[in-house]
């Protein structure tokens, strides 16, 4: 005999679920937009914990479907990477146990996004789209503030507002959110799918151009060129061909744009990093190890390799790098299987942009939420949430539009 659930309990459960869904949606928007609004990273992190991580933890405790979403290969790969990274701290020259709390932060952030994807995938898509539009408008606001109110010269490299004050990392943030807005246009309210969407997309292009960051430029162009692999579209092929032609023309007419600042010491950093990797190739220097890379041509020493893959290999060894690449490979495989849906195409493009952009800057995955998270963790967490939903058959199948 099946026991009927009391009506009051059903109503209470539905109300609790609705509250958690909206709470998580507000937290996701704060994660993606708040960094550009706050001048204090402390307040940004505190609000992120309260608005996003806390409701995600509550959802994990209350809803079995959220716990089931953790039963996937990517979750296991993430836990293996965490375990190896934590173990590597044991042979680092200086180890402080407080550094290990970063793993808890990453788990809470991943869980919050997985929870929202589990409880209401449509709300997740709408929140992503609205966040992308807001960041696109803030790209215009950054340019107006930087060249207008702050009075910087037009030749200066554009940075974002709030705590987004590094041109390369800001370009990674705006580039990743540009991909989100580009693909999730239909998730915006109907009144925002026209001029507002186009204006937001143009804001990302303007920001990338004025930031003068060659790494994100390359990442954006290669993502555009590779997009026909996961999105069969005649229009897209024409756009890719046009972008390639414009890139060639720009290189011929304005070669100084590509040659300014040279390669920013990247080849020398690459050689120096390989030397450090050779010292302890498998285990690395350890999670919390500090190191300096000497740049003979400038007489300077830099604190990291300005390449996430090299930094992981230096600190976590080739074992840690293999764990990170395995996580990336699982994410790309899951996104590829979803390529018939708009979410899958967005994830393919986001992983492509992020994977290329991380070759030019970033200090590895184990940092508090900051600009790097938009290329390091946002694609991974989205795949973990949306791919699990896809296997459960709960994501709405999108009609392909050309």
Asked whether the beta carbons of 163 and 39 are under 8 A apart, the reply is yes
pLDDT number for residue 212: 85
Among 28, 217, 187, CA closest to 109 = 28
Q: What is the DSSP letter of 314?
A: H
pLDDT number for residue 215: 84
Asked whether the beta carbons of 325 and 191 are under 8 A apart, the reply is no
User: For the residues 287-305, what does the mean pLDDT come to?
Assistant: 72
Greatest CA separation found in the chain? Answer: 80
pLDDT number for residue 399: 37
Percentage of the chain surpassing pLDDT 70? 82
Q: Would you say residue 256 has pLDDT above 80?
A: no
The answer to which of 20-24, 168-172, 250-254 has the lowest mean pLDDT is 250-254
Q: Where are the domains of the chain?
A: 20-392
pLDDT number for residue 320: 95
User: For the residues 185-195, what does the mean pLDDT come to?
Assistant: 95
pLDDT tens for each residue of 133-152: 999 999 999 999 999 988 88
Average pLDDT score, the chain: 85
Q: Would you say residue 390 has pLDDT above 60?
A: no
Q: What is the pTM of this model?
A: 0.88
- SS3 assignment, position 302: strand
User: For the residues 316-335, what does the mean pLDDT come to?
Assistant: 96
pLDDT number for residue 396: 38
Residue 293: enclosing H or E segment and its boundaries?
A: strand 293-295
pLDDT number for residue 238: 66
Q: Would you say residue 1 has pLDDT above 80?
A: no
Percentage of the chain surpassing pLDDT 90? 57
Asked whether the beta carbons of 375 and 172 are under 8 A apart, the reply is yes
pLDDT number for residue 397: 36
Q: How many C-beta atoms lie closer than 10 Å to residue 222's C-beta?
A: 15
- Residue found by looking up tokens 């990442």 in the block: 219
**β-bridge partners, 293:** 302
pLDDT number for residue 292: 76
Query: What is the number of H-type helices and E-type strands within the chain?
Result: 17, 2
Q: Would you say residue 395 has pLDDT above 50?
A: no
Asked whether the beta carbons of 349 and 230 are under 8 A apart, the reply is yes
Burial class from Cβ neighbours inside 10 Å (0-12, 13-18, 19+) for residue 93 reads: exposed
User: For the residues 344-358, what does the mean pLDDT come to?
Assistant: 95
Q: Would you say residue 234 has pLDDT above 90?
A: no
Q: Would you say residue 388 has pLDDT above 90?
A: no
Query: What's the half-sphere exposure (Cβ side, CA atoms, 13 Å) at 395?
Result: 24
pLDDT band at 231, cuts 50/70/90?
confident
pLDDT number for residue 106: 96
């Amino acid at each position: 005999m099946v026991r009927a659930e009391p009506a009051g309990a059903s109503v209470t459960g539905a109300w609790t679920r609705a509250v958690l869904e909206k709470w998580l949606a507000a937290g996701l928007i704060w994660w993606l937009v708040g960094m550009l609004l706050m001048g204090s990273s402390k307040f940004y992190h505190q609000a992120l914990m309260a608005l996003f991580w806390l409701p995600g933890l509550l959802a994990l405790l209350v809803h079995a479907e959220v716990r089931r979403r953790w039963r996937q290969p990517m979750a296991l790969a993430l836990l293996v990477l965490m375990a190896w990274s934590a173990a590597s701290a044991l042979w680092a020259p200086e180890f402080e146990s407080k550094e290990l709390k970063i793993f808890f932060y990453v788990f809470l952030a991943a869980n919050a996004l997985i929870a929202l994807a589990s409880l209401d995938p449509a709300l997740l898509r709408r929140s992503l789209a609205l966040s992308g539009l807001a960041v696109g408008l803030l790209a215009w606001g950054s340019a107006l503030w930087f060249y207008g109110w702050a009075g910087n010269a037009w030749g200066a490299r554009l940075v974002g507002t709030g705590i987004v004050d590094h041109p390369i990392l800001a370009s990674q943030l705006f580039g990743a959110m540009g991909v989100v807005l580009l693909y999730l246009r239909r998730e915006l309210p109907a009144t925002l799918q026209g001029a507002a969407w186009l204006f937001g997309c143009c804001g990302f292009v303007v920001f990338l151009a004025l930031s003068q960051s060659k790494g994100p430029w390359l990442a954006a162009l290669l993502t555009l060129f590779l997009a026909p692999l996961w999105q069969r579209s005649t229009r897209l092929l024409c756009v890719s061909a046009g972008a390639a032609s414009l890139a060639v023309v720009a290189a011929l007419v304005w070669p100084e744009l590509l040659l300014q600042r040279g390669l920013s010491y990247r080849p020398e950093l690459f050689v120096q990093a390989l030397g450090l990797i050779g010292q302890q190739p498998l285990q690395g220097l350890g999670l919390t190890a500090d190191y300096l890379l000497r740049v003979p041509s400038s007489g300077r020493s830099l604190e990291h390799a300005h390449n996430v893959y090299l930094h992981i290999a230096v600190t976590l060894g080739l074992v840690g790098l293999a764990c990170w690449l395995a996580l990336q490979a699982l994410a790309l495989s899951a996104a590829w299987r979803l390529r018939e849906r708009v979410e899958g195409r967005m994830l393919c493009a986001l992983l492509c942009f992020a994977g290329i952009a991380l070759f030019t800057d970033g200090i590895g995955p184990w940092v508090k939420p900051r600009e790097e998270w938009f290329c390091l963790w946002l694609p991974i967490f989205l795949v973990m949430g949306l791919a699990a939903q896809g296997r459960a058959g709960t994501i709405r199948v999108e009609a392909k539009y050309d």
